[in-house]
């Protein structure tokens, strides 16, 4: 565990440093710029554009990793993730309704809370209707149906609303970290730290849940309460991420599988591991998205899939061979 953790942390620090050095413009001496030296424009590019974006990528990646681990734990279903459970599309749908009613704007706390409620209601209702087979295929199929319906509505709303806050269909279907600023990077980092810490401390209850609802009840843990609290955590994470950076896909699905193959199945380790793996994956994907085709950029969700998929396949294959 300790060895894996230190490898993962080293990977994160290394990716962090490479990310700071790559981008649309070449910055000569990043270390000097960080210490307040160098050219003024280069310094503002680094501290006001690139650094906030790198930090946002780490925080969002960690947040989505935790959300994915929670989703799979409460359903005991390896295909569960906020995208399939309707959390993401519910959050986006409620956010767009709020924007079209002129209630608030992108990046605001109010919008994040409204998106959280949207994700909570959608996934809560899904859980209620499929409560008898949360670990089965019914959850996945009905979840995909609900998500597809809401995504369709989100697409239509995003196309017809003229308000600049409505962004475009691409924002709500593929997401982007290009709108990261010092402020929203700080907010998402703080939110991820608080919720991640809470998730980590609460993870023991998820271990009981993994034994089955009946056994968990015998051990004095209420499955309904554990699911409710975990769902609340997941929806809050997804609400904040989606309302600020759009729907970034694949990270939440792939990360827990990769983390499980490295850190094992105990939920404390899994949540910590998912946060780290998610952070590294999204940071690599985002760095690629803004430097492969510089000075333009590629949609982030295309790269999360492209980079995450081989790791996901490798992790599941390794698990299969072990069992």
Closest distance of CB 224 from another protein, Å: 27
Cα gap 163→322, rounded to integer Å: 53
Q: Does 194 bind another protein (CB under 8 A)?
A: yes
Q: Does 100 bind another protein (CB under 8 A)?
A: no
The binder of another protein chosen from 17, 48, 131, 159 (CB under 8 A): 48
Closest distance of CB 266 from another protein, Å: 27
Q: Does 121 bind another protein (CB under 8 A)?
A: no
Q: Does 275 bind another protein (CB under 8 A)?
A: no
Query: For residues 106 and 209, which CB has a smaller minimum distance to another protein in the complex?
Result: 106
* C-alpha dist (Å) from residue 285 to 65, 107, 280, 302: 14, 22, 9, 9
Query: For residues 193 and 268, which CB has a smaller minimum distance to another protein in the complex?
Result: 193
Q: Is residue 313 reached through a cis peptide bond, with omega within 30 degrees of 0 on the bond before it?
A: no
Q: Does 23 bind another protein (CB under 8 A)?
A: yes
Closest distance of CB 179 from another protein, Å: 5
Q: Does 184 bind another protein (CB under 8 A)?
A: yes
The binder of another protein chosen from 109, 148, 201, 292 (CB under 8 A): 109
The binder of another protein chosen from 128, 160, 295, 320 (CB under 8 A): 295
Query: For residues 32 and 193, which CB has a smaller minimum distance to another protein in the complex?
Result: 193
Q: Does 108 bind another protein (CB under 8 A)?
A: yes
Q: How many residues bind another protein (CB under 8 A)?
A: 40
Which of 117, 122, 174, 172 is closest to 145 using CA atoms?
122
The binder of another protein chosen from 45, 97, 305, 306 (CB under 8 A): 45
Cα gap 287→267, rounded to integer Å: 29
Closest distance of CB 144 from another protein, Å: 29
Q: Does 92 bind another protein (CB under 8 A)?
A: no
Contacts of residue 236, defined as CB under 8 A and 6 or more positions apart, other chains included, come to: 116, 191, 195
Q: Does 260 bind another protein (CB under 8 A)?
A: no
The binder of another protein chosen from 8, 82, 167, 173 (CB under 8 A): 167
Q: Does 181 bind another protein (CB under 8 A)?
A: yes
Q: Does 105 bind another protein (CB under 8 A)?
A: yes
Query: For residues 84 and 99, which CB has a smaller minimum distance to another protein in the complex?
Result: 99
Interface residue list for another protein (CB under 8 A) = 23-25, 41-42, 44-45, 48-50, 52-53, 105-109, 163-165, 167-168, 176, 178-181, 183-184, 186-187, 190-191, 193-194, 290, 294-297
């Amino acid at each position: 565990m300790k060895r894996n953790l230190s490898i993962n942390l080293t990977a994160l620090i290394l990716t962090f440093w490479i990310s700071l050095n790559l981008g649309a413009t070449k910055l000569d001496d990043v270390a000097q710029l960080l210490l307040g030296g160098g050219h003024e424009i280069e310094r503002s590019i680094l501290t006001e554009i690139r650094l906030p974006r790198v930090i946002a990528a780490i925080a969002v990646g960690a947040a989505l990793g935790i959300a994915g681990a929670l989703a799979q734990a409460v359903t005991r279903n390896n295909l569960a993730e906020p995208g399939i459970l309707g959390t993401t599309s519910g959050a986006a749908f409620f956010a767009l309704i709020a924007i079209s009613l002129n209630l608030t704007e992108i990046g605001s706390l109010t919008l994040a809370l409204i998106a959280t409620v949207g994700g909570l209601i959608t996934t809560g209702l899904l859980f209620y209707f499929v409560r008898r087979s949360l670990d089965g295929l019914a959850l996945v199929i009905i979840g995909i149906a609900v998500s597809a319906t809401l995504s369709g509505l989100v697409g239509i709303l995003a196309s017809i609303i003229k308000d600049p806050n409505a962004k475009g269909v691409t924002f709500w279907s593929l997401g982007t970290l290009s709108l990261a600023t010092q402020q929203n990077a700080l907010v998402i980092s703080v939110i991820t730290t608080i919720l991640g810490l809470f998730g980590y401390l609460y993870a023991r209850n998820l271990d009981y849940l993994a034994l089955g609802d009946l056994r968990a009840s015998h051990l004095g843990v209420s499955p309904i309460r554990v699911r409710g609290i975990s769902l609340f955590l997941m929806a809050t994470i997804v609400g904040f991420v989606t309302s600020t950076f759009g729907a970034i896909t694949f990270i939440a699905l792939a990360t827990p599988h990769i983390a499980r193959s490295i850190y094992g199945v105990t939920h404390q380790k899994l949540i910590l591991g998912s946060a780290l793996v998610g952070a590294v994956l999204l940071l690599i994907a985002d760095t690629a998205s803004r430097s492969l085709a510089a000075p333009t950029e590629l949609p982030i969700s295309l790269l999360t899939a492209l980079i995450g998929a081989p790791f996901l396949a490798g992790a599941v294959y390794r698990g299969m061979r072990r069992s």
